[in-house]
Amino acid sequence: MAAAIYPMGATAMRSETRRPVVTKIRVNIAALMQPFHACTADFIRDVCQARCCRSTTDPTGIAVVVTKDEAVRLRLRGAYIDDATGRIAPVNRRCPFQHGKTHLCILHGTDDKPHGCIISPFTINDNDTLIVRNRYRLLPCFQADGAVPVYEAHAQSLIMLFGETNAADIAYTASQPARINDSLNLYVDDWRVAALRLKNQQSKHLDQPIDEGVTI
């Protein structure tokens, strides 16, 4: 069965108050049971080397796409970003914000880390359904020793996308074995949905590499 959960703080609106512009997103609980290892510092350094930040198909080595607003902030940090595609230029075939030794993102914990990076491995498909990106099931974190359901491994991604209250509802529902075949209808800001879909679209255009940037 599907339950409708409204945005954080959503209440009955008076006529003079404008409703938020949101998209209803379907969350299938069974899909959230896929096993992934959490992105711990040790696992990133010793096992995966943050392969999710790189690409085996893009000729530049990475396929990181950001919004125009994010591009403004990242350019202030020295990144080169293609205006047409929103793609960050690599440095030595890596994201310029990936630490060379620890492989950690130096933007982690700052306001400048792109939302698409935080929300990964999740995205929203054209059917308004939350999914795990296919490429993540090819990475070392999938079914690794110590893996947990993806809703646990990437709880912060769900909080970023749906807010703390709705993310907690997702976790509670997913923890109930009798509800594994349930789905939830959650509401996400339109601008966030549009940004994810742009990232999906632009990440597929891998035949036009951009020049390497400068080391920062």
Check pLDDT > 90 for residue 54.
no
Higher-confidence position of 15 and 195: 195
**Single pTM value for the model:** 0.81
Check pLDDT > 50 for residue 98.
yes
Average pLDDT for residues 118-126, to the nearest whole number? 92
Measured CA to CA, the distance from residue 8 to residue 164 in angstroms comes to: 8
What is the per-residue pLDDT for 178? 96
Q: Given the structure tokens 């959650």, which residue do they identify?
A: 186
3-state secondary structure of 39: coil
Confidence of residue 140 (pLDDT cuts 50, 70, 90): very high
What is the per-residue pLDDT for 56? 77
Q: Given the structure tokens 């020049």, which residue do they identify?
A: 211
Check pLDDT > 50 for residue 59.
yes
Check pLDDT > 80 for residue 152.
yes
3-state secondary structure of 7: coil
Q: What percent of the chain has pLDDT over 70?
A: 84
Average pLDDT for residues 54-65, to the nearest whole number? 82
DSSP of 50-87: TGGGS-SSSTTS---B--HHHHHHHHHTT--B-TTT-B
- Lowest-confidence region among 10-14, 64-68, 86-90, 154-158: 10-14
Check pLDDT > 70 for residue 211.
no
Measured CA to CA, the distance from residue 1 to residue 6 in angstroms comes to: 16
162-182 per-position pLDDT tens digit: 999 999 999 999 999 999 999
The encoded tokens of residue 20 equal 């938020």
Higher-confidence position of 203 and 36: 36
Q: Which helix (H) or strand (E) holds 3?
A: strand 2-4
DSSP of 88-142: BPPBTTB-TTB-TTT--BTTTTSTTS-HHHHHTTEEE-TTSBEEE-GGGGGSTTB
What is the per-residue pLDDT for 204? 66
Give strand pairing partners of 129: 26
60-83 per-position pLDDT tens digit: 888 788 989 999 999 999 999 988
Confidence of residue 205 (pLDDT cuts 50, 70, 90): low
Give strand pairing partners of 36: 142, 148
Phi-psi category of 120—alpha, beta or left, where left has phi over 0 and alpha has psi -120 to 50? beta
